[in-house]
Amino acid sequence: MHTAGIWGRSMDRTQYAAARASALARMLANAEDVSTGQLSTLVCSLLDVAGLSPEQRLDVLGGAFVSEAVRPHWATDATAEHAHAALRGGDAELADAVEAVAQVLLGRAESREDARAALAELEKLLAGK
């Protein structure tokens, strides 16, 4: 286990990441002119605390990117198609990026589903022998 010492106390890597994320969040909550770099560090710290795998981190960040890009265009009565069309009308390049990331995320999710189904079938076959 990796430990870090702070003021005579030691904590493991997870505890340190949680303390760091908490401190960053408190520091940035009321700060003016927070930089993108500082916010990126906070997000990465939160992902560290969550203990996500690299693949899960990409899924979370990709999903957040898609959500944040479409959110301003998503009214309560709008459909996904209308929200995306509004995004495309305002920023075609961002809409292209959203489409690309969404396709990657969907493909990854479908691959995981297919893998689970294949493993389930394999388990059935092995259980039958």
Q: Mean pLDDT score of the chain, rounded to an integer?
A: 83
pLDDT band, residue 129 (cuts 50/70/90): low
Q: What is the pLDDT of residue 62?
A: 94
The residue written with tokens 């203990």 in the block is 51
DSSP run (H or E) holding 3: strand 3-6
Whether 57 and 38 share a structural domain: no
Whether 64 and 31 share a structural domain: no
Whether 76 and 126 share a structural domain: yes
Whether 47 and 59 share a structural domain: no
Whether 61 and 78 share a structural domain: yes
Whether 29 and 92 share a structural domain: no
- Residue 3: CB atoms within 10 A of its CB come to 11
Whether 10 and 43 share a structural domain: yes
Domain extent at residue 36: 1-51
Whether 47 and 61 share a structural domain: no
Whether 46 and 59 share a structural domain: no
Whether 46 and 90 share a structural domain: no
pLDDT band, residue 8 (cuts 50/70/90): low
Q: What is the pLDDT of residue 10?
A: 67
Alpha helix ranges (H) inside the chain: 13-29, 36-50, 54-70, 80-90, 92-128
27-80: per-residue pLDDT in tens?
767 777 878 888 888 888 888 888 889 999 999 999 999 999 999 888 767 788
Domain count, the chain: 2
Whether 12 and 62 share a structural domain: no
Whether 10 and 61 share a structural domain: no
Q: How far apart are CA 88 and CA 82, in angstroms?
A: 10
| Residues 16 and 41: beta-carbon distance below 8 Å | no
Inter-CA distances, 109 with 14, 16, 30, 31, 104, Å: 27, 31, 37, 37, 9
Global confidence as pTM: 0.67
- Which residues, at least 6 apart from 60, have a Cβ–Cβ distance to it below 8 Å? 47, 52
Residue ending a domain, among 17, 32, 51, is: 51
